Chain A
């Protein structure tokens, strides 16, 4: 009998992803699905999908799900987790969603120490709407609304969300990871799993920021986009644990 070394996670449905070829969203969905299965909590998990390319995430995770108004996933998650404290609740949010229109919701969810998990996908752009500049767009990065490149003089420097969230006293666990190669994918999975372990152990608010790409919005091939994460994104967005107040899970 052949040994199966890897197969599609049963934490995902049979619906094909609607993401563009090579988009990091798919990779990140897989890590979440695998983590929920390995922790044996898939059946009691509830996903909160955002507005953005992952608006249809409820079609892809093989668990209950709901889709929130733009940026409001943490508010919806708060309500669900407080009513159903035994469920495993997570939001899945892009940088337009979390770091722009939804900054109030994410900050105050962490401030209240809500016991749910946030997967924050930072691809430095508004993918779904056609590649507009986000608060996370790099300096000099060209987007459809910064055709000459982002300028600090008019739009400031890119927002460092993990660094900011780590300052919130009631936040428990904040880590920034990347998915641009197999070593980083493995590390990202560890972080995502740990965030869920903390929630299972009632340790409070956890957020994993995943540095991601948007090959279409960045106007490059998927292979070049993954390399650009390493060459351009990570130097500005250092990876690592920004806060861990949970001890061993």
Chain B
């Protein structure tokens, strides 16, 4: 029962729309065109144009419209054709999605999902290669979730749609054609829980989204050398699953964070700080961070590759933190 990630995401949307008539999709080219990465392909034929609402190009206004609709009972999934475009909707995501439940004293809920493709793709240029999780993480009242496998993309998106909280749901442009299996039945994965990708003993690697695969490539080589890192996919970028993280840190006493985010003000920066603050006595080594360089993402292939973390850098960092190579 293998399928591609976009098909799994589409199944999640389809099943939730079938289950609840208040669920709808709002965004650019989500209807007739089927979504820029096919996540809503042909769904308008089944549910009609009102439930797959093709909008004009006006990110902050259709985002705000989603907020207003959510406040009065609908459950919109708002797609950013590219996550980067949602910079134009930052006000509505921050001030309205994030704060309105609180400022209204709990009277209004905003049960919406903001989702779309992000991350560094293949030579898409700086503006289409952004990691908005670093910008969104400071917003109170929203949850940030990054899917990474065919299975979790479906089961997390279903949970996000059912959540009464606003959820920003990150998909990665390079993972839509990933193959895998989904969990049978109406399975919803908890949004707040990390995934243990592989158990290990020598160090803990915390990662998310596409970097999961960069890490796993490195780990395959490390295995051959008899090194056994534990790999954890954060899944929840806000809040962090501190229960899972603490358990692993206490076991391995060494942490490497591998992310596609910028180093300054990114997810890793926050995660590193919180680990240092709350688990300092459990660490035998300072937290290491492998992040993207703080530069706009270049178009040229080699420069782009040099911007983001490569498997060799992960292997090298593991070697260092485990004392296998001179520091």
Q: Answer yes or no: are A and B bound together in one complex.
A: no
